[in-house]
Amino acid sequence: MPLQQQELLKVCEILAEEEGLRVTVTESFKGACYAFAGALVGGVLGGPIGLGLGGAAGSALAACKSQGKFKSAVHVITYEMPDRQKQKLATAVQNVIQNIDASDVVTLIAILNGNNITRNIIIDLIKNALTSDMGLRIAPQ
């Protein structure tokens, strides 16, 4: 008996959690601008030492401003992904696992943990759903 959409999405959530996938709510480019500006100002005012201190201060400011602007992929899949995107993701995962005999989520996760190729394909599907379909960016790990 094939797994239902909710069960397939649960598999995606478990894999995303295991991978530590997070998405950025705003672009990381803003944080880089803070770090760059701090390094530039520090370098102009303090030379090489000011460059280091300014870069560190700009990076610290960027870190403070980015608090709460990252979300787990699990949160996005569960609460923010539109139903149409959920269906598309579940169908894509179903197509990948159609030859795997798994009757429940736990069995499927156990099988995927032993099969890195299929696991990585599903993780790539999750990343693609978040980036291409929803326009989000995957945060560096």
Per-residue confidence (pLDDT) for residue 128, from 0 to 100? 92
Average pLDDT, the chain: 86
Per-residue confidence (pLDDT) for residue 26, from 0 to 100? 59
Of 29, 28, 52, whose CA–CA distance to 40 is shortest? 52
pLDDT, tens digit (0-9, with 9 covering 90-100), for 59-117:
888 888 766 667 888 988 999 899 999 999 999 999 998 888 777 888 888 888 888 99
Type of residue at 104: D
Per-residue confidence (pLDDT) for residue 36, from 0 to 100? 87
Rounded average pLDDT over 6-33 = 84
Of 20, 17, 23, 15, whose CA–CA distance to 116 is shortest? 15
- Based on the fold, state whether residues 105 and 136 are members of the same structural domain: yes
- Based on the fold, state whether residues 43 and 103 are members of the same structural domain: no
- Based on the fold, state whether residues 103 and 47 are members of the same structural domain: no
- Based on the fold, state whether residues 61 and 89 are members of the same structural domain: no
pTM (two decimals): 0.67
| Paired residues of 109 in beta bridges | none
Q: Which residue range forms the structural domain that includes residue 56?
A: 26-67
- Based on the fold, state whether residues 123 and 75 are members of the same structural domain: yes
The set of residues, in sequence order, having a beta carbon less than 8 Å from that of 9 and lying 6+ positions away, is 77, 78, 86, 89, 90
- Based on the fold, state whether residues 46 and 77 are members of the same structural domain: no
Q: How many domains does the chain have?
A: 2
